[in-house]
Amino acid sequence: MIIAIVYLLLATVFVLFLALTLLILLPAIYIKVKLEPVKGVCKSDARLDGKVALVTGGNQGIGLETARELAARGATVVIACRDQVRSAQAIADITATTGNHNVVFKPLDLARFSSVRQFAEDFNNTYDRLDILVNNAGCGGLKCKLTGDGVDVVMQVNYFGPFLLTNLLLDKLKASQPSRIVIVSSCLHHFGKFRVSDMHLPLEQGIKNQILMYSRSKLCDVLWTKALAKRLPEGVTVNSLHPGFVRTDIFKRLPPSAMKVLDFVIDMFSFKTPKEGAQTTLHLCLAEELENVTGKYFMECAEAGYSSLADDDNLVEAVWDNSIKLTS
């Protein structure tokens, strides 16, 4: 009897592990093979002397490589994130590799609306222009839970926080035109779904729902891009993108078993380095041919297809209205 129970438990564990593997592996294989056939490269040689760029999450991963390249082209770069120590290390690295000493850190916690407002006030009082805003910071793999503002933590960091930040910096962007807003989304937005009335609320606990919340937040980024583009004056553009599957720390809080599966997938398919993952972001920041392109979604430095939900104008407007309400 005891042996039978042990075998049953082992079988259950195996089935759960297999299900977890398939949950992560199959979408990754599909996306890598079907949606990422090549690695795009930003070919612009534009200079940014005299311009100001703001990169959220610019102290690591894709954000660090984005900040580095913008600094290399002469921009004053503001790195906005929580970790001051890591940011200091990133700034020292950027300065050493680019020779640009106009790279600064300003504290920002996207999981707290009060921090976003304080950051925006400080930025607006410090700088007389903002030419490029890169909403790069994000998180994934977190347990579904509410922030102090009553919003799911992944939704707040990946969507509502950047939404509020951008709105608070719009006057500066308008005064600096031509200016650009770049929103780092993900092709996983294709798997996102929600009801507008409870889009800010967490799902029940579980790895599957953690991934679904990430997909939801990235879908909202695409919908937001469409809504914001309709409201911006000529000379200010906004576009979103999928950076590719990159080896970064964004899902580091997944359970160890899930991380092992994810690492296996990354190694198997030679996913991108952070520098490679930053190329589409840089393309949207720099490419001369995109000066008047707005409201689009890009992948591998080229315009790409997005979820059909983003073509639902009623949904796009409902999400915008609800987001304004939740961040007011």
Residues known to be catalytic? 214
Q: Give CA–CA dist 207/254, Å, rounded.
A: 8
Q: Give CA–CA dist 320/34, Å, rounded.
A: 31
In the chain, what is the greatest distance between 2 CA atoms, to the nearest angstrom?
76
Contact 181, 238 (CB under 8 A): yes
Q: Give CA–CA dist 194/192, Å, rounded.
A: 7
Contacts of 57 (CB under 8 A, 6+ apart): 63, 80, 81, 136, 137, 138
Q: Give CA–CA dist 62/58, Å, rounded.
A: 8
Q: Count CB atoms within 10 A of the CB of residue 128.
A: 10
Sheet containing 52-56, strands listed edge to edge, beginning at the edge strand earlier in sequence: 103-107, 76-81, 52-56, 132-135, 179-184, 236-242, 297-299, 302-303
Q: Give CA–CA dist 68/235, Å, rounded.
A: 25
Contact 17, 260 (CB under 8 A): no
Q: Please give the torsion angle defined by the CA atoms of residues 312, 315, 317 and 318, in that order, rounded to the nearest 10 degrees.
A: 170
Of 221, 190, 292, 244, the closest CA to residue 42 belongs to 244
- Positive/negative CA dihedral, 157, 93, 272, 141: negative
